[in-house]
C-alpha cells in the first residue's frame, strides 16, 4: 500500500508531503512504530513517510538496514534500533555510516553486533571500517582465487595454442620445401 501511495504522489495524483503508514507499522503524527513485529530485511518497509521524525525498529529480527533507507527522511531525528541481531559484516556498512553521522550517538549505544563472534557485543557506531571489511574478505578471497584459476586456465590455453601454431608452421615449412623441391625437379625434367 505504501508503495502505491508513494508512486501516486510522485505522479502528482497525491501531494508528496502526504504521510502514509507502511504495513505492519503503527503511525501517529510523525512517529512510525514498527517495534516487535518480527521484521527481517525482507519484510522491512521499503520507505517511510517523508515527514517521519521518529522510527521504532527495535525488538525485531533485523541483521542489517538496506542501503539508503533513511537517506531521504529530512525530518528524521531518531531511529530506535536496539534488540536486533545485527550481523556486523559488509551489509552493516550503511547502518554504521548513518549512525556515525548522527549528532547524538547516545541513542545508539544499545545497537550492538550479535555476530561475528569477534565483534559480538561491540557498538556498531564505533566500529572501524577495517574491522567490518575484514569480515567481508571471505568472499573476496574466494572471488580472487576463482579469477586466478580462470587466468591460469586462459594462460595454459594460450600456451597450447602457441605450441600448435609453431608445430603447424614447421609442418607448413616442410611442405613448402617439399613443394619447392618438386617444382624444381619438374622444371628440370621439363627442360630435358
What is the value of pTM for the model shown?
0.62
Q: Does domain 2-127 have CATH number 1.20.970.10?
A: no
Cβ partners under 8 Å of residue 78, min gap 6: 53, 54, 55, 104, 107
Please provide residue 92's backbone torsions phi and psi, each rounded to the nearest 5 degrees: -85, -5
DSSP 32-55: EE-TTS---TTTS-S---TT--EE
Q: What is the pLDDT along the chain (192 residues), one digit of tens a residue?
A: 445 444 544 444 444 445 689 989 999 989 999 999 999 999 999 999 999 999 999 999 999 999 999 999 999 999 999 999 999 998 999 999 999 999 887 889 999 999 999 999 999 999 998 888 877 766 556 676 778 888 889 999 999 999 999 999 999 898 888 888 888 888 887 765
Grid cell locating 89: 559484516
Give the residue extent of every domain in the chain: 2-127, 136-192
Packing angle of the helix pair 129-191, 93-100 (nearest 10 deg): 130
Amino acid at each position: 500500500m505504501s508503495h502505491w501511495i508513494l508512486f501516486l504522489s510522485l505522479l502528482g495524483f497525491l501531494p508528496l508531503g502526504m504521510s502514509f503508514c507502511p504495513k505492519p507499522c503503527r503511525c501517529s503524527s510523525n512517529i512510525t512504530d514498527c517495534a516487535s513485529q518480527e521484521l527481517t530485511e525482507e519484510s522491512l518497509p521499503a520507505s517511510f513517510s517523508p515527514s517521519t521524525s521518529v522510527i521504532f525498529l527495535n525488538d525485531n529480527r533485523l541483521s542489517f538496514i538496506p542501503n539508503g533507507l533513511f537517506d531521504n527522511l529530512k525530518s528524521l531525528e531518531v531511529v530506535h534500533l536496539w534488540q536486533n541481531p545485527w550481523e556486523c559484516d559488509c551489509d552493516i556498512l550503511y547502518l554504521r555510516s548513518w549512525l556515525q553521522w548522527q549528532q547524538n550517538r547516545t541513542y545508539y549505544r544499545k545497537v550492538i553486533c550479535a555476530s561475528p563472534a569477534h565483534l559480538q557485543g561491540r557498538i556498531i557506531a564505533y566500529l572501524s571500517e577495517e574491522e567490518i571489511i575484514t569480515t567481508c574478505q571471505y568472499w573476496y578471497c574466494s572471488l580472487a582465487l576463482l579469477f586466478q584459476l580462470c587466468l591460469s586456465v586462459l594462460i595454459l590455453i594460450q600456451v597450447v595454442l602457441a605450441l600448435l601454431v609453431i608445430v603447424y608452421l614447421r609442418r607448413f615449412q616442410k611442405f613448402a620445401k617439399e613443394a619447392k623441391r618438386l617444382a624444381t625437379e619438374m622444371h628440370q625434367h621439363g627442360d630435358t
